[in-house]
Amino acid sequence: MARLLAHGARSFHTHAATGLQGKVGIVTGASSGIGLATSRALAQEGMKVVMVSRSLDKLESCKVKVPGASCWPCDVADAGAVHAMVEDVIKQVGKVDVVVNCAGVMYFTLMRNLLYEQWKKTIDTNCTGTVNVCGAVLPFMLSAKSGHLVNVSSDAARQVFPALAVYNASKAFVNVFSKSLRAECVGTGIKVTDIQPGDTATNLIMENTDKEAASKVGVSIGETVGKGFDRGSVLDAEDVASAIVHALKLPAHVGVHEMLIEPVDQMFGDPTAMGVTPDGMYAPHLTTGPDKP
């Protein structure tokens, strides 16, 4: 047996994880939910965190939870504002090592209800915002021959959910965009990761207004995602932040291109797993149904 092992054993090399101490990271959507949790997690790893959100007041109130962070009010849908923000960050701190695009919105809407402004906001924030931020920072990362772009999409990028036609499409866009950007970055030293969370306890649907759509899927307008769910049926924002940190800390030769992270009891692609009773063409109708991040 010893001879067999000696001749047949494969040689494995260990590689040290990449430390985040002293690195600079921009986090969008940083005033709440996954963005705030990610900002805190990166700061705990010793990173200099640049928190980006549309509301300076919200950022300032959250800043106390993120040691050493700086705040930049910016609408990611505004390309000019995004480029100015990135240039200001580079001037002040000298580099950007990591970008985590958490900015996003989600509206349960039925297409027949014609909520054009909500559709536009979904596309502007989820799609255009992600492209704007990646595009603005990429030249600096290419010059540095290193960097990590993390885009938070959703499990809705893989599986469509009812009453979320525009949202589903926006997250599928982020998924394909991330794959395409990664292909463009092969050989440059830049990593691109698409994080796909399932049901996560955030305030993502607080601004929903389509009561008909909400009733079709059993969500409560104006309440936190996952309210009333059991422990195995909803993630905390910190769980997603931990997954992001894991991807960032892996050795330079290891790329986490996609990561699907869902609650242990969320059945991917199976609406009946959450107590669903079929109800017409917009089935499922849930009594305590899941909301998507």
**Where along the chain do its domains lie?**
20-204+230-270
What's residue 18's pLDDT? 67
Dihedral sign (CA 180, 186, 188, 193)? positive
Reported as a pLDDT band with limits 50, 70 and 90, residue 221 is confident
Please tell me the pTM assigned to this model.
0.85
> Catalytic residue among 107, 116, 167, 282, which?
167
- Residues composing the chain: 293
| 167 noted as active-site residue | yes
- The percent of residues in the chain predicted with pLDDT above 90, rounded, is 67
Reported as a pLDDT band with limits 50, 70 and 90, residue 22 is very high
Topology (CATH level 3) of domain 20-204+230-270:
Rossmann fold (3.40.50)
Q: Provide the pairing of β-strand 276-277 with 285-286.
A: antiparallel
Q: pLDDT tens, 224-259? A: 776 677 788 889 999 999 999 999 999 999 999 999
Segment 87-116 mean pLDDT? 96
What's residue 127's pLDDT? 98
